[in-house]
Amino acid sequence: MSLDITFLGTGSAYPSPMRGASALVLRREGQCWLFDCGEGTQTQLMRSHLRAARITKIFITHLHGDHFFGLPGLLCTLSLQSSPDTSRRPVDIYGPLGLRSFLRRSLELSHSQLLFPYAVHELVPTRDQCPDGEFKDFSGLDRDEEAPQGPLGQVLHLDPGEDSYLLLEDEQLVLRAFRLFHRIPSFGFVLQEKPRPGKLDVQKLKDLG
């Protein structure tokens, strides 16, 4: 399995002409996974050797603007570069509780209609992840409104036994989120490659004794 990481932005608070806000891309098996999407991420993508159309998963660490304000714009640009395809798999977006409502409102208020499906998988924080005065319960957002059509995604809770959130698993890797302790609920992501059996030339080993 080949893995390649490109840093698109390492700045905080706001982007600058020479340094983008938080964003990095992990390339894996021809796909691009984007971690955080600060303002200017799509511009940084255009300057890089990466193809934004290959982004299949997006992971948002926390809901401070310098980590996700670029997300609605990036999705709209990807849509402008797409053609309608009902068979296309959704772009999976993982992030803290409240992210789904933010995206829905942003796209709705800007009259933006994406030509591809997306699903937001929300991580439910625990109250001890930030100071009491900063904790906000977003679990009731949009509760009384008609749900939009299309895949909504999952609501993921902490697995106490693993002290983490299982996001995905396949034959090659396991991807988990874990709690970070910041001014607001935050999450880190761990990609763990599974053990792979080696390939041995048994006859050559025997010949060499």
Helix (H, G, I), strand (E, B) or coil at 117: coil
Instruction: List Cβ neighbours of 150 (8 Å cut-off, separation of 6 or more).
Output: 90, 117, 118, 119
Strand-strand pairing, 23-28 and 31-35 = antiparallel
- Contact between residue 44 and residue 52 where contact means Cβ atoms under 8 Å apart: no
- Contact between residue 61 and residue 180 where contact means Cβ atoms under 8 Å apart: yes
pTM listed for this prediction: 0.89
Residues classed as catalytic: 66
Sheet holding 23-28, edge to edge: 3-9, 23-28, 31-35, 55-59, 91-96, 118-123, 155-156
Task: Give the angle 62-49-52 at the CA atoms, nearest 5°.
Answer: 50
Strand-strand pairing, 155-156 and 118-123 = parallel
- Following DSSP, what letter does each residue of 15-33 receive, concatenated? --SSSPBSEEEEEETTEEE
Q: E-strand spans in the chain?
A: 3-9, 23-28, 31-35, 55-59, 91-96, 118-123, 155-156, 165-169, 173-180, 186-193
Q: How confident is the prediction along the chain (209 residues), in pLDDT tens digits per residue?
A: 688 999 999 998 888 888 889 999 999 888 899 999 999 999 999 999 999 989 999 999 999 999 999 999 999 999 988 877 767 889 999 999 999 999 999 999 999 999 999 999 999 999 999 898 889 888 888 776 655 555 579 999 999 999 999 999 998 899 999 999 999 999 999 999 988 888 888 899 999 99
pLDDT for the residue 176: 97
* Domains delineated in the chain: 3-208 (3.60.15.10)
- Token digits of residue 124: 């439910």
